[in-house]
Structure 1
Amino acid sequence: MVASADVTGTIGSAEEALSDRLDGSDLPRQLLGDAYPRLSIFHDKLLREGVLKGIIGPRDQEILWERHILNSAAILPFIEEALNEGAQDSVADLGSGGGFPGIIIASCLHEAHITLIEPMERRVQWLSEVIDDLKLDNVTILRSRAEDLVDQPTGQRPGHKASDKQRHASAARHTQYQVLTCRAVAPMRKLAPMALPLILPGGRLVALKGKSAPQELEKAKQVIAKSHGINSQVFEAPVGDGLEPTHVVVVEKRK
């Protein structure tokens, strides 16, 4: 499920007072495979800096692996299926925030190109640091709101390569993606008209959702259809043995 990562070890170590319930467990390594070294670096950075920088809440420190990293990884099979059936290997993470699920996707699916769409400057800076720390070369950061991307005409969407020092600068580019992901961005009735215009015909929206996903989807049927979405489904996605599963909403974009 994951591609190999040419990264070993971690950057520093978290303070001894901070720990994660799954520290010392083999489960993250088993589930993440060759991506584990990279995501261990990400985990340690979150543990050290996440609360201070407003990326996670204090209560999340003990459950970083489960709530944020492994929960995000549960979306991978749905993304891989969508990429296998499409003509492109482009993935965008809408409202990437602290990097969930975009950083996890980029670490695990290293052959795909991942665009992290995030409007807030301080989070763009955080994502830029994470990309450097994890030595990810398959990621672009696009500083923008989804609404602005939808409203802009062809050829006027800002984007930039994350490897240079101007990651938060704008450059003109028009892009649609084979797969668009998101986590905790908006209810489906608001998400569909933001997300589906950014997806290639035949591509898919793959959204991590909570237990209310079926109700959200039911309320959003008309707006999904109006936004050219078809074949909407909710799946229960396993996170790991002994861990609570999550839910994934998949919507296809009409060709």
Structure 2
Amino acid sequence: MMESEAEARTWLQALPEGDALAMERLETLIAMLREENAKQNLVSAASLEHVWLRHIVDSAQLLPHVPRETVAPWMDLGTGSGFPGLVIAALLPHSEVLMVESRARRIDWLERVRAALDLPHAKVVGQRLEVIEDRPMAVISARAFAPLDRLLTLSARLSTATTTWLLPKGRSAQQELADLRNWRHVFHVEQSVTDPQAGIIVGTLAGRKGKTT
């Protein structure tokens, strides 16, 4: 379990995607985050003291759970401040990463960072999830977006039997998965590398019980 900013940076640099250019992009993201956070509350001020651990690695830890040959298209639901969407896009600059966000100020923020980091394959989808057109995704992620059953109800139409779901759920991961009743899935909980009490729901979805996909 990581506890320091130095450990977080070392962990990132050990990733296949954690090269010097990726680290530069993440440094730029952090600098912009600190500046913007004084104007709008993107993240808690206290968390900026441990930004590599709390936001960057907390997002990047999703990558090792995805087969590297099937990382795109990746859709991040309710990207908000940019986590994990912007971090994933910064680490996968040649892959299509779609960041879904409906709030105007957050859309503006995401677009400015996307341009500053020179991420032409990343796209901000400025719509509510309910109205996004159907399109199969290779990966679907969501951090603190909605309770698990509601999340699946809204987004299962974007999933195939091979789509990897990556859902950081904090302390509620095990309980939300245990309470999931109406879906056929192969989900399990992975331990977060940044928080000993947090879990990530990982796996694939076959559809609602009683239906075929």
TM-score, normalised via structure 2 length: 0.84
Aligned position for 2:144: 184
Matched, 1:145 2:128: yes
**Structure 1 position 104, deviation (Å):** 0.8
| Structure 1 moving runs of 4+ over 6 Å | none
Aligned position for 2:210: none
- 3-state DSSP of counterpart to 1:62: helix
Contact map agreement 2:93 2:122 (CA 8 A) in 1: no
Cα distance in 2 for residues equivalent to 1:233 and 1:51: 38
Contact map agreement 1:195 1:205 (CA 8 A) in 2: no
Aligned position for 2:64: 77
TM-score, normalised via structure 1 length: 0.71
Aligned position for 1:50: 37
Cα distance in 2 for residues equivalent to 1:26 and 1:187: 31
**Structure 1 position 195, deviation (Å):** 2.2
**Structure 1 position 219, deviation (Å):** 1.1
Matches within 5 A, 1:30-179: 30-32=11-13, 33-34=18-19, 35-78=22-65, 80-81=66-67, 84=69, 86=70, 89-149=72-132, 157=133, 174-179=134-139
Aligned position for 2:185: 230
Residue-pair matches, total: 198
Contact map agreement 2:8 2:57 (CA 8 A) in 1: no
Q: Residues 29 and 40 (structure 1 numbering): CA distance in 2 closer, same or farther, change over 3 Å? A: farther
Q: Residues 77 and 44 (structure 1 numbering): CA distance in 2 closer, same or farther, change over 3 Å? A: same
Contact map agreement 1:71 1:246 (CA 8 A) in 2: no
Gaps of 5+ in 1: 1-20, 150-156, 158-173
- 3-state DSSP of counterpart to 1:231: strand
Aligned position for 1:250: 202
**Structure 1 position 202, deviation (Å):** 2.0
Quick one: which amino acid aligns to residue 67 of structure 1? R
What is the Cα-based RMSD across aligned positions, in Å?
2.1
Q: Which has the larger radius of gyration?
A: 1
